[in-house]
């Protein structure tokens, strides 16, 4: 295989970065080695190099322009803190999504058992196999296995919501949107699909700020999210379009929007707002690191505008 690369020792990792033009001025080589041994792995940390450009020609061709090792460490910290906000916010959204389904079922005077059976019947044979696999994996689960045993195949909606994973919840939400002919629920379904991607990435500790270039999104931003962004004071149209054309930023902002729209608990909203502002404060702690990187600077500026508008300090 042509892409097989040997494992590098920490010393070799440092040398490889130096060969690529990475400086060790703010954080010296010994400190960098200590960091790579105790705090982060080389593969994950160096993925943030995607946010930096290389010299196109000349004696430094192929080397990074204005990249210090400390810059990579700083982005890694910001990335970690942002992921640690995204996961609980996704849990908030999941909880309130379940509440919304229950409210809709009650308002429509639905049979709590029949709606679950109708949902399962709506699945294709392949989809049913996937669903059954999800249920079977949880049969021995100490948290929801007893619910599965109690109802085993005849679940009321209030019990069903407690045993299904987030992806299944999003699927059920789509079914309910169609059943109740609820246009806003249908819009929320598409937004929830986007939330699911960034939620899963964050929960699995994937880097989320390591590729922030424009035009990586596979679809246009949801109309409701776009409208809300357009209403932010001082939001430039080109600025919005550029940043929201990045898949990762599109997913993060969609999750922030859904939290703002669907989470009805003021206390929860206030708590998450505090955490988001702390993340943004950390992003600006070493703002001089990014003064020569317009892509990173504009990303932090964009996220700050969104947080300041949608999650104002109490």
**What pLDDT is stored for residue 183 in this prediction?**
94
Reported as a pLDDT band with limits 50, 70 and 90, residue 58 is confident
In tens, the pLDDT along 137-168 reads 999 999 999 999 999 889 999 999 999 999 99
pLDDT tens profile 191-239: 999 999 999 999 999 999 999 999 999 999 999 999 999 999 999 999 9
Tell me if the pTM is above 0.85: yes
Which residue pairs from 138-147 have beta carbons closer than 8 angstroms and sit at least 24 positions apart in sequence? 138/163
Give the DSSP H/E element, type plus range, for residue 106. Answer: helix 69-107
What number is the average pLDDT over the span 86-104? 97
pLDDT over 60 at 272, yes or no: yes
In 3D space, the residue among 57, 38, 46, 56 whose CA is nearest the CA of residue 22 turns out to be 46
Integer Cα distance of 303 and 285 in angstroms: 15
- Report the chain's mean pLDDT, rounded to a whole number: 94
Mean per-residue pLDDT, 173-188? 96
Q: So what's the pLDDT on residue 1?
A: 47
Judged by DSSP in three states, 245 sits in coil
User: Alpha carbon of 60 to those of 18, 53, 70, 102, 282: distances in Å?
Assistant: 12, 12, 21, 61, 32
For residue 208, what are its two tokens? 């989320």
Distance of CA 104 to the CA centre of its chain: 27
Residues 44-61 have a mean pLDDT of: 92
Average pLDDT on 261-269 reads 93
Kindly indicate the confidence band of residue 2, based on its pLDDT and cuts at 50, 70 and 90: low
Percentage of the chain modeled with pLDDT above 90: 92
| pLDDT tens digit sequence for 191-204 | 999 999 999 999 99
């Amino acid at each position: 295989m042509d892409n097989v690369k040997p494992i590098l020792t920490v010393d070799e990792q440092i040398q490889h970065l130096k060969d690529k033009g990475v400086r060790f001025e703010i954080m010296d080589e010994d400190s960098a080695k200590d960091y790579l041994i105790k705090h982060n792995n080389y593969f994950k940390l160096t993925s943030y190099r995607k946010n930096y450009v290389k010299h196109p020609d000349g004696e430094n061709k192929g080397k990074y322009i204005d990249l210090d090792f400390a810059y990579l460490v700083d982005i890694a910290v910001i990335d970690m803190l942002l992921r640690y906000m995204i996961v609980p916010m996704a849990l908030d959204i999941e909880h309130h999504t379940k509440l919304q389904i229950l409210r809709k079922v009650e308002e429509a005077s639905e049979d709590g058992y029949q709606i679950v059976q109708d949902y399962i019947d709506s699945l294709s044979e392949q989809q049913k196999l996937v669903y059954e696999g999800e249920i079977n994996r949880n049969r021995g689960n100490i948290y929801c296995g007893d619910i599965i045993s109690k109802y085993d195949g005849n679940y009321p909606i209030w019990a069903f919501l407690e045993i299904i994973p987030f992806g299944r919840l999003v699927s059920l939400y789509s079914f309910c949107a169609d059943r109740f002919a609820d246009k806003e629920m249908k819009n929320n379904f598409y937004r929830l699909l986007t939330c699911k991607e960034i939620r899963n990435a964050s929960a699995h500790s994937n880097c989320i700020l390591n590729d922030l270039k424009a035009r990586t999104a596979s679809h246009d931003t949801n109309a409701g999210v776009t409208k809300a962004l357009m209403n932010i004071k001082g939001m430039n149209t080109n600025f919005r379009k550029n940043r929201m054309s990045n898949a990762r930023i599109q997913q993060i902002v969609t999750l922030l929007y859904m939290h703002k729209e669907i989470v009805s608990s003021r206390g929860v909203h206030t708590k998450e707002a505090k955490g988001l502002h702390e993340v943004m404060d950390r992003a600006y702690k070493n703002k001089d690191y990014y003064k020569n990187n317009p892509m990173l600077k504009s990303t932090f500026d964009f996220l700050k505008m969104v947080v300041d508008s949608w999650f104002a300090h109490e």
